[in-house]
Amino acid sequence: MSYQSGTEGSDLTRIRAVVAAIKADKCPPVFFLYGQEGFLVSRAKDDIIAALRKRAGAAAEFISLPGATGDLNLILTEVLSGSLFSSDKIVSVPEFKAITEKSPKAKDRLTEFAMRLESGLPKGKALILSIAEGGTTIAAFARRLKKALVLGFPKLKTYPGMQAYRDPLFAFIKDFLAESKKTITQDGFFALKESVGTDLSAICSELEKLVLYLAGKERIDAKDVEAIVSESRQQAVFELTDAIANKRAVQAFRALANLLQEGTAPLLVIQSLASQFRSLLQARILISEHLEERQIATMSFFNFRDDVMKGLEQFIPLFGSSTSNLLTKPPFVIHKTLQLAASLKHDEITQALIKVSDADLEIKRSPAAPTQILRTLMFDLIQKEKAG
């Protein structure tokens, strides 16, 4: 029984359908959850376990095995063994790493393991295998489990400039908000995507904040996102960008540590840096072609607001109509970005933007730890600016 992405409605709808099937006792006892969208893999695992435990009753035994174990026999022994207090037993193996082993013997063991699962489990037993990864080996294992319930969560195909009605991230957000009887406008979605990025865990964290603060409002729009989500995160990322631009390594790594400790995903930090450097590039163009650099570098915010801001409106079409247009942002953001850009050369900004974009791709494609990729990027950005 396969519930692959895109074949049974949205990802959250598919998870709800599985939970409903469990409650109706219409699910097989083996579940395999996989894919690059780790948030959805974890959400599916937690919801399935909760539904199974509720159906089995309080006496059912629940065991979570360490996913790093390569002993497939241990997993089988655990799920097949009896329980002291109940015939019902639920075994979860999060981060099922045995599936990623490359040796020929490991492949044979995995094939035998799949065959054993296909032969069925005793009544009252359930096994949940999950891994937040994709790839040919994992997909092949999923195909072998013809009698199991398989949920695949590939990376959502979303990118900047994508129309909302075609964007699977927009569909996911609307489905998530529907649980709280709320919805989001297209401009609200674009503002959220610009501010938070595409990491589902970070998006859901901010959506929960929006739902909490907007308890009496059904439709979330761009102004709500700007007021509740964007300002605090934008300030933190700007502090990080400022430290990088001014070659202050200690302050840069302190700002990064604060962002990570607050639960900001490494991919979101990188995407936020990319947004900041794109804004700096727009600011550098304005300074080079239309503004007085020395005046901007020393001008107070109030003088900027009163003497310069209104004159910038004519340049809004230069950078398009998307939310990434610097000149559509609040005046204090424009002022701070222009002042920082005044201290940078055009080539410095473009080179930094290239490096940030490369790191974004590396996090999505490389097996390396995202935090390590992010820290390497930080060193590279600071050293590159020193070299220039």
Q: Classify residue 103: in a domain, yes or no.
A: yes
- What domain range includes position 336? 230-387
Q: Give the residue from 152, 183, 212 where a domain finishes.
A: 152
For the stretch 188-246, pLDDT in tens is 998 888 777 788 888 888 898 889 888 888 999 988 887 777 666 667 788 888 888 88
Residue 347, class by beta-carbon neighbours within 10 Å (0-12 exposed, 13-18 middle, 19+ buried)? exposed
Residues 146 and 254 in one domain: no
Residues 12 and 108 in one domain: yes
Calculate mean pLDDT across residues 304-327: 84
Residues 241 and 123 in one domain: no
Cβ 250 vs Cβ 218: under 8 Å = no
Residue 325 has pLDDT above 70, yes or no: yes
CATH number, domain with residue 350: 1.20.272.10
Q: Classify residue 201: in a domain, yes or no.
A: no
The conformation of residue 159, written as its DSSP 8-state character, comes to -
Average pLDDT, the chain: 86
Count up the domains in the chain and report the number. Answer: 2
* Per-residue pLDDT at 385: 44
Calculate mean pLDDT across residues 268-284: 89
For the stretch 139-183, pLDDT in tens is 999 999 999 999 999 988 888 778 888 899 999 999 999 999 999
Residue 4 has pLDDT above 50, yes or no: no
Q: Classify residue 62: in a domain, yes or no.
A: yes
**How would you classify residue 157: left for phi > 0, otherwise alpha for psi between -120 and 50, otherwise beta?**
beta
Q: Classify residue 27: in a domain, yes or no.
A: yes
Q: Classify residue 193: in a domain, yes or no.
A: no
The conformation of residue 214, written as its DSSP 8-state character, comes to T
* Per-residue pLDDT at 297: 84
Q: Classify residue 22: in a domain, yes or no.
A: yes
Tokens of 300: 């107070």
- Report the C-alpha gap between 157 and 151 in whole angstroms: 17
- Report the C-alpha gap between 75 and 65 in whole angstroms: 8
Q: Give the residue from 152, 183, 215 where a domain finishes.
A: 152
For the stretch 7-25, pLDDT in tens is 445 899 999 999 999 999 9
For the stretch 96-117, pLDDT in tens is 988 888 888 888 888 899 999 9
Residue 3 has pLDDT above 60, yes or no: no
Distances (CA, A) of 21 to 12, 52, 55, 58: 14, 10, 11, 20
Q: Classify residue 198: in a domain, yes or no.
A: no
Q: Give the residue from 152, 178, 195 where a domain finishes.
A: 152
Residue 1 has pLDDT above 70, yes or no: no
Q: Classify residue 81: in a domain, yes or no.
A: yes
